Chain A
Amino acid sequence: MPAKGAMKSLTRAPSVPAIATLSPASVVVDSVRREFPDGTVALDGLSLRVGRGELVAVVGPSGCGKSTLLDLVCGLQTPDAGRVDLTGRTVLMPQGDTLLPWASATDNAALGLRVAGTGAKQARARARTELAALGLAEFADAKPAALSGGMRQRIAVARTLLSGADVACLDEPFGALDAITRADAQRWLTDTLAARPRTVLLVTHDTEEAALLADRIVVLSPRPGRVLEQIPVDESRPRSVSDPGVVAVRAAVLRALGVVR
């Protein structure tokens, strides 16, 4: 089938093996296809690798199967074709505001540890220490309703990182925040990941966020999602939107998406 052959050549973009030789891969997604019961094909022939300690951002038009990709990586859905190989455990931070309203920030942050089997007291103590280390000490006892959207999302990120998984999948972590709050949160995430290196697969619709945070940007096609292009970001951190490298990467991403020529 010529169509399938064309897709394969796209997924084997030259940057993939180059990255893969740099560090052992944590996530290998190999030619996955995902079709929903209603016949919608969310992903078709999608391949990507995430190296250990790498932050890969996935961008693409709405409905291109970005969230489905994270579900596959986290084992919440199984591919209809192809496979997903993982080194270690994954954890998912779903889209939206998912802090539990009845639990304090500390208890929310401790949730992943509790689920992983850590005792209540120890989990809470570790969560408290971690929140303090991430600059969130003053909010440790607050309930989510008393926190701003930016703080809530930071605590949700802290919960995800604290769960101890090797690969963190973040689905639009700052998608619902206003521009100023989001810029703060992105800077905070850069600092946090510098202090707590982790393999991250970040889904975002925000090309600026991808250029600011990622080591590599994977651009997906409209549905059914497959990899259009992989764009490495070689800019040192912390980055600013005005850095020439960031501007260039953003332009490249927008070109790949077909938004600009």
Chain B
Amino acid sequence: MILAALIVVAFLGGWQAYTALSSIDEFLLPSPTDVAAAAWGDRGLLWDNFTVTAREMGIGLLIAVVIGVGLALILHRWSTVRRGVYPLLVASQTVPIVLVAPLLAAWLGYDLTPKLVVVALVCFFPIVVPTLDALSGVDAGRIKLMAGLGATRWQRLRYVEAPSALPALFTGLRLSIAIAAIAAVLAETAGSDEGLGHLMAQSIPQLETARAFAAIIVLAGFSVLLYASLSLAERRLAPWAHPSKGLKT
């Protein structure tokens, strides 16, 4: 954490020095202080657009989790379905979202729905893959234990497979959070009149580059915050995934 802060400080210092020493145009590369000034000056505007994007990311991720976990459970339960559907899942990830997003806006309108589709479509895949792998890769000894106790399939899922897969689900979620912001911005630039993506797309042609940078920083900050709260949740809900050192005898 301290290291991350040091890197940020060094980066900002270098950036500031570069903009001060070179005669680069403020509209091409604003200095960190310009960005900070823009962030403060436009705080109301940034906040309003942030809440829009945050909602798209939050609800989209939620949908991605529900679909991702649901699919993982279904594919784990029926191996025939798995063989049939897995290639389709991979194919779904080759859909060029950049090109499809405007179409989605045309089909579904300018409101929340097309953004949720884009975010969910991009984010469910990194959740399905590790979760499914973990469900199917449960330690053979534990499977035998449950069989030896006479457990049903449901009991095996509940007592062994689901807890075993939980850390993998969190791993998938972490990957999803990182790309949810990009997906939301992309969907907004494809057709929207609000949100941080829309604000960035508007600010650059208006030569408000500092404001666009401020929007990026808000979005990055939000992603880091989401990531951190997820790590916190993981420590609480799946502490066995990260056993503290020195505990084992």
Write the residues of chain A forming the contact surface with B, with a CB cutoff of 8 angstroms: 74, 76, 89, 91-98, 100-103, 111-112, 114-116, 143, 145-148, 163, 169
Contact = CB atoms under 8 A, between A and B. Distances in A.
26 contacts: A74-B147, A76-B144, A91-B148, A91-B150, A92-B144, A92-B145, A92-B149, A94-B144, A96-B141, A98-B144, A98-B145, A100-B159, A100-B160, A100-B163, A101-B240, A102-B163, A102-B238, A102-B239, A111-B149, A111-B159, A114-B159, A115-B155, A116-B149, A116-B150, A145-B240, A145-B247
B235 interface: no
A163 B149 contact: yes
B149 A112 contact: yes
A89 B151 CA distance: 13
B160 to A, nearest CB: 7
A27 B160 CA distance: 29
Interface in B206-243: 238-240, 243
A107 B238 CA distance: 16
Contacts of A145: 240, 243, 247-248
Contact of B149 (A102, A115, A143, A146): A115
B149 A89 contact: no
B240 A102 contact: yes
B146 A115 contact: yes
Nearest to A67: B144
A160 to B, nearest CB: 8
Place the interface of chain B in its size category: 20 to 34
Contacts, number: 63
Contacts of B248: 145-146
A89 B163 contact: no
A61 to B, nearest CB: 22
Contacts of B159: 100, 111, 114-115
Interface string B131-173: 0000000000110111111110001000110010000000000
Contacts of A91: 148-150
Contacts of A76: 144, 147-148
Best-buried of A98, A100, A102, A147 by chain B (most CB within 10 Å): A102
A95 B145 CA distance: 9
A112 to B, nearest CB: 5
A116 B247 CA distance: 32
Given A93-B148, A94-B144, 6 more contacts: A92-B144, A92-B147, A92-B148, A98-B144, A100-B159, A115-B155
A102 B247 CA distance: 14
A98 B155 contact: no
A208 B20 CA distance: 81
A98 B248 CA distance: 16
A95 to B, nearest CB: 7
A146 B247 contact: yes
A89 B249 contact: no
A112 B238 CA distance: 22
